[in-house]
């Protein structure tokens, strides 16, 4: 443990000294960097397409990480390399797609949708899209969040990167300071005919279908409102309602699917050198007793949690670079409530502290280092992890 703390402090000192060398830049670049953190990949692609009469634009992001738990071997990983492509057919119709390579060897299509601008404030979208829940699902590019790893709560509860095939509407009403999204998606896959895909440790995560020959027997509603009428603050309200899916034949067996009602609240604040964000998500699941009896799984009847984070830029606002020192606290439980067929597992009640630095060398590049302390409801469960990462987004 002492070795990791020494390495962390040494790296922190090195970051600060290196960052102090970059102090003469125009005043507007700091603001531009902040603005760049408030949009995501597909929004940037659509913005770029708006500036051309017709044609193609490209973008991308990637992360290379080093994770060193205190009780296990370390891991070096090209965690993801993503290419984004957009094509503008005319002033009303655009296409956006995102192709992701994970861990060098896995390839996924993360987004592939048509955006049809019907009128001011109204777009129709159809295809493979991100489910708008919380912050990180939509804003997951490495320069848009602090920490080498994405918040753990988002990985398990939401779960990122959550995308499904659907159709819906999106837009914004600037007079009301509101951005809205509403979609119909296929649901999580709860049973593939061989086994249950949902379980206590990871909640709904194993049921993401990701647009790969997705099973659908009914559609689920996903919606989000973002309010930006208060200076320096953005507030989000998300909802997801419906049922999971099971393959043909299996879906006729009672207990093969469960109901899902998920609500999320999120906030992002930025004022001068200070920034903060927070998120709360709660999901209530119905018919979990029947599902657990059929599948011999341990899915909880409610899962949820929250995190709060604050950061401070240690460099003057006029600088081209930013050096954000941050701390994040997470508390989440995939066995927040359980039915009568199982008992609560304290190992699924998790708590994490993350302390670190994000050094934005320019708009679109970041070097990160942090230390995490993790524990569960079990006695003597606390472990630590040291992380270093480099990320790009363009």
* CB contact at 8 A, 349 and 24: no
Q: Check whether 209 has a pLDDT greater than 80.
A: yes
User: Which residue pairs from 90-93 have beta carbons closer than 8 angstroms and sit at least 24 positions apart in sequence?
Assistant: 90/54, 91/117, 92/116, 92/117, 92/118, 93/117
Of the pLDDT bands very low, low, confident and very high (cuts 50, 70, 90), residue 133 is: very high
Exposed e or buried b for every residue in 234-259, given b needs 16+ CB within 10 A?
bbbebbbebbbbbeeebbeeebbbbe
Query: What pLDDT sits at residue 394?
Result: 95
Q: What is the DSSP string of 153-218?
A: HHHHTS-SS-EEEEEEEEEEETTTTEEEEEEEEE--EEE-SSSB--BTTTBTGGG--TTSS---SS
* CB contact at 8 A, 45 and 60: no
Q: What is the DSSP string of 293-315?
A: HHH-----SEEEEEEEEEEEE-S
* CB contact at 8 A, 166 and 129: yes
Query: What pLDDT sits at residue 71?
Result: 86
Mean pLDDT (whole number) for 326-350: 97
* Single pTM value for the model: 0.89
CA distance 366 to 62: 11
Query: What pLDDT sits at residue 37?
Result: 45
Query: What pLDDT sits at residue 384?
Result: 97
Of the pLDDT bands very low, low, confident and very high (cuts 50, 70, 90), residue 10 is: very low
Query: What pLDDT sits at residue 31?
Result: 35
Q: What is the pLDDT of residues 13-63, one digit of tens each?
A: 444 444 443 333 333 333 344 444 478 999 999 999 999 999 999 999 999
Helix (H) or strand (E) holding 102: strand 93-102
**Measured torsion, CA atoms of residues 368, 303, 128, 35, in degrees rounded to the nearest 10:** -40
Widest pairwise Cα distance in the chain: 68
Query: What pLDDT sits at residue 33?
Result: 40
CA distance 138 to 87: 20
Query: What pLDDT sits at residue 6?
Result: 43
Query: What pLDDT sits at residue 359?
Result: 98
Q: What is the pLDDT of residues 54-100, one digit of tens each?
A: 999 999 999 999 999 998 999 999 999 999 999 999 999 999 999 99
* Domains defined for the chain, CATH in brackets: 2-393 (2.40.160.10)
Structure tokens that stand for 187 in this block = 């649901």
Of the pLDDT bands very low, low, confident and very high (cuts 50, 70, 90), residue 5 is: very low
CA distance 150 to 267: 16
Mean pLDDT (whole number) for 249-273: 97
């Amino acid at each position: 443990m002492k070795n990791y703390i020494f390495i962390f402090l040494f790296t922190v000192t090195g970051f600060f000294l290196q960052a102090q060398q970059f102090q003469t830049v125009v005043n507007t670049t700091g603001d531009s960097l902040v603005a760049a953190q408030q949009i995501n990949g597909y929004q940037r692609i659509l913005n770029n397409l708006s500036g051309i009469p017709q044609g193609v634009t490209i973008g991308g992001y990637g992360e290379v990480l080093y994770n060193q738990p205190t009780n296990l071997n370390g891991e070096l990983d090209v965690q993801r390399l993503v290419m984004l492509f957009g094509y503008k057919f005319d002033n009303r119709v655009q296409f956006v797609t995102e192709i992701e390579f994970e861990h060098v060897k896995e390839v996924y299509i993360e987004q592939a949708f048509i955006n049809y601008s019907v009128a001011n404030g109204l777009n129709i979208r159809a295809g493979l899209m991100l489910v708008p829940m919380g912050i990180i699902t939509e804003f997951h590019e490495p320069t848009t969040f602090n920490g080498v790893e994405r918040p753990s709560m988002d990985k398990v509860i939401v779960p990122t990167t959550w995308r499904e095939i659907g159709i819906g509407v999106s837009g914004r009403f600037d007079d009301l300071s509101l951005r809205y999204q509403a979609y119909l998606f296929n649901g999580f896959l709860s049973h593939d005919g061989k086994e249950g895909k949902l379980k206590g440790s990871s909640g709904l995560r194993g049921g993401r279908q990701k647009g790969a020959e997705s099973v659908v027997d009914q559609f689920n509603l996903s919606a989000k409102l973002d309010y930006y009428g208060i200076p320096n603050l953005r507030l989000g309200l998300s909802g997801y309602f419906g049922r999971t899916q099971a393959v043909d034949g299996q879906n006729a067996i009672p207990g093969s699917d469960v109901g899902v009602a998920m609500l999320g609240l999120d906030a992002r604040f930025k004022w001068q050198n200070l920034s903060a964000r927070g998120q709360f998500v709660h999901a209530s699941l119905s018919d979990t007793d029947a599902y657990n009896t059929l599948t011999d799984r341990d899915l909880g009847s409610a899962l949820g949690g929250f995190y709060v984070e604050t950061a401070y830029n240690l460099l003057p606002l006029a600088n081209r670079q930013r050096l954000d020192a941050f701390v994040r606290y997470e508390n989440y439980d995939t066995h927040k409530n359980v039915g009568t067929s199982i008992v609560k597992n304290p190992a699924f009640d998790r708590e994490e502290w993350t302390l670190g630095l994000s050094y934005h060398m320019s708009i679109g590049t970041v070097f990160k280092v942090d230390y995490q302390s993790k524990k569960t409801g079990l006695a003597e469960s606390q472990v630590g992890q040291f992380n270093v990462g480099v990320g790009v987004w363009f």
